[in-house]
Chain A
Amino acid sequence: MSTEPSDDFSKVETPSEIISRLEDGMTIGIGGWATRRKPMALVREILKSDLKDLTLVSYGGPDVGLLCAAGKVKKLIFAFVSLDQYPLDPHFRAARQSGQIEVWELDEGMLHWGLRAAAMDLPFLPTRIGIGTDIINQPGFKLIDSPYEDGETFVAMPAINLDAALIHAHRSDVKGNILTMSPDPFFDELFSRAAPHTYASVEKIVTTPELDIETNARFALVERARITAVTETPFGAHPTSAAPDYHLDLKHIKSYVESAATPEAWDAYKTAYLSGTQADYIDAVGGADTIGAIAKPVY
């Protein structure tokens, strides 16, 4: 028996190889939260593809706005779309207000619960969330009575089963052992458990010993059996943050917001930032040193 770390398989792919695995009409979960750790390099790769009629599941940020602006979205399952410092994403607003997209609007915790149900292979999980609100007046919700003596009536939050999940993390080995090292992992683990296939972009692919799992165990996102492919995309979350490696690029978020002002502004944004490779993109937004020097925002 060898005691050397095994290196006999690799899940490393290019972003375009990953996106070519997706199909029209799929339900795609996108990890991260608003302006934090969004797999933006993979999202930009979707923009370059012919994919269409997607159902997105997201704690939404510019991932949702960009995909809406590019006409890729048929339906959005969400609790919010926000750019934090710019509370409202103008690309999302335009799509929503024109009636271009269908929505299934949830509470943040219901979205969590729907992913949890899918992760546990349950048809639903009971909750009180939604009672008394218009959320449960949307199609797709049923109520259920407790079978115990309390007899309370609950919302049966249906499982949100994904066809694929896209996440961004800090480190991975070639086998898909992932470290998500930001202060808050959000619900990326649940996204990966709610999908048969999870595709992760990471800042850096390292050797298995370099993961230093004994030190970093609390950052280990999920067992690698849930990860179908990984791709190395430095600054792959930009303009969102992947703290502690780099922080939110508010200046670029401003350009993104302003690109919704007119069709010409949107065309200019596409030409500047969405037409080339990830390396072209990083150059266009100022280069690695510039992004690395962005200060941590305060809230």
Chain B
Amino acid sequence: MVSFKFTVNDEMGLHARPAGALVKEAVQCTSKVTIKKGEKSGDAKRIFNVMGLSIKANEEVEIIVEGEKEQEEAAALEAFVKENI
């Protein structure tokens, strides 16, 4: 299991477009990808799960990657998130 944290900068929070972008990226992973905010978590490959967390601006989110290629996939996701969200 590999995980990393990031803070949502967009002033509207993790709204539909960035949430969609994250899901699109996560779906390409072979690992299980979980998105976690506080106590709540959801499957990052499912848009309703991600949006259901109702993540707002400046909130910290954790991404947990579990699978055979977890190292490289987590790194790719982290790079993507830093670049785009």
| B is bound to A | no
B residues whose Cβ falls under 8 Å from a Cβ of A: none
